[in-house]
Amino acid sequence: MKTLYVFILAIAVLLYVDALPYIPSKVVTIPLKEKRITRRKPRKFDRRDTTNVEVDQQHPDIAYFGELFFGDSKFDIQFDTGSADLWVIDDACLSPACDDKNRYDPETDEDFQDLHENFNAEYDKGTVTGTQGTTIVQIGDLSIRQKFGLAVTLTDDFQRDEFDGMMGMAFNVASQNDQITLISNLFNDNNNHFDSQQFSFKLGRDADGTEGELTIGGVNSESFTGELTWTGLSENNGGLWIIPLDDCLVNGAALNLAGHIANLDTGTTLIVVPHADAQQVYANIQHEEKNGHFYISCDVRVTISMRINGATWNIDQRDFIIEDGDECYGAIDGTDDGPANEWILGAAFLKNVYSVFDLGGIQIGLSQLA
C-alpha cells in the first residue's frame, strides 16, 4: 500500500509540473554603434525575444556602443569588456570632455536614488570621478534597478570621444566602485529567462558595411559559422576576460611566444603588446617607430594571425593597416607599461571573429563570422 501511495504522489507531481505555464528562454540581440576613441537600418533576426536598436556610425571601427536608458533619458554608452563599472556623464560636469555630450540629470528622474558614495574609475586613457546612485536602467527590452556612477569630472583624454558613458562587462570583482555589473545584474534577475549566462559580440566593419551587434543571454547563430572554439580563462585574471595565447604568426611564421596571455577587450581599438613583442612582429616588415606607433607602407601585404587553443584566427588586412593622413601604421602597438606577457586584443582583432563571453562557464568562445 505504501508503494501505491508513492506511485500516486509521483503521478500527481508530474501532472502538476506539466500544467505549469511555459516560460520561454530569452535572448536579446542589440545592434551596436561605432565611434572612434583609445547609422544603419535595424536588422531582424528569426529569434524569440530579441531586441534591435538603431545603429549609428562616425569615425568607424574604433569604439562600439549602444543605447541605454537611465530613467527616461537615452544615452550612447560604450560596451567595454576590459572594465567593470557603469557610468554616465552627470548634468553637473564642467570638464571640457563633457562638452557637446548628453548629460544625465538625476533631478528629473523620479526613480533615482542617491547612494552618497564617491565614484572613481581609472582607465589607461584617463580618469572619471563623481558620485554614485541607482535608477532603472534599460538596455534593449531589458530593465533593472542598477548602481552606476554619475561622472562629474573627466580628464581631457576623453574629450575626443563622442559617447556619453561606459558599461563595463568584465566580472564583478574587477569593479573599482563595488558595483555589480549591469550584465551580471540582468543574469541574476529571476524575471529574465536566458538561455545561458553568456553575451556575444559581432563588431561591425565600416569598410564592408557590416553592422555590429551585442547578444545578451546566448548567441545569434545567424552571425557565425562552424563550431565555437572554447578557451577557459587564465588564472589570476583579475576579473578580466584573459585567456592563454598560444602564439602570433606573421605571414605564417610563429613568433614562438611562451607563457603569454590575451586580454579580449572591446574597449580598446588596437592590439597592444609588450614592446619587445611588437619589435618581433615588425622585424621583417619595413617600418619606422614614431608617435608610439610602427609606421609601415600603406601598400604592404602581411597576414597577422593569433593562435588560441590550437585554432588560428587571421586579421583582415584592412584591420591591420591604419591610415593616418598620407601615412599608415600597424594595428599592433608596443608598450612597456603592462605585464611582459600580456597582449590586449582590441577591436582590430575582435572584428575578425564572433566572440562569446561566458560568465557561467568562465570561458570565451570564438568562431568564424557568417
**Residue 330 near residue 272, CB atoms below 8 Å:** no
Q: How many other β-carbons are positioned within 10 Å of the β-carbon of residue 328? A: 17
Please compute Rg for the chain using Cα positions. 22
What positions carry a catalytic annotation? Answer: 80, 265
**Residue 31 near residue 213, CB atoms below 8 Å:** yes
**Residue 153 near residue 130, CB atoms below 8 Å:** yes
- Going by C-alpha positions, the residue among 233, 338, 328 that lies closest to residue 287 is 328
d(CA 283, CA 287) in angstroms, rounded, equals 8
d(CA 148, CA 179) in angstroms, rounded, equals 7
In terms of C-beta density within 10 A (0-12 exposed, 13-18 middle, 19 or more buried), how is residue 75 classed? Answer: buried
* Residue labelled with grid coordinates 556575444: 200
Per the DSSP assignment, residues forming a β-bridge with 260 are: 245
Q: Residues near 261 by Cβ (< 8 Å), separated by ≥ 6?
A: 234, 242, 243, 244, 245, 339, 341, 342, 343
Per the DSSP assignment, residues forming a β-bridge with 108 are: none
d(CA 33, CA 55) in angstroms, rounded, equals 5
- Report, in this order, helix, strand and coil percent for the chain, each rounded to 5: 15, 45, 40
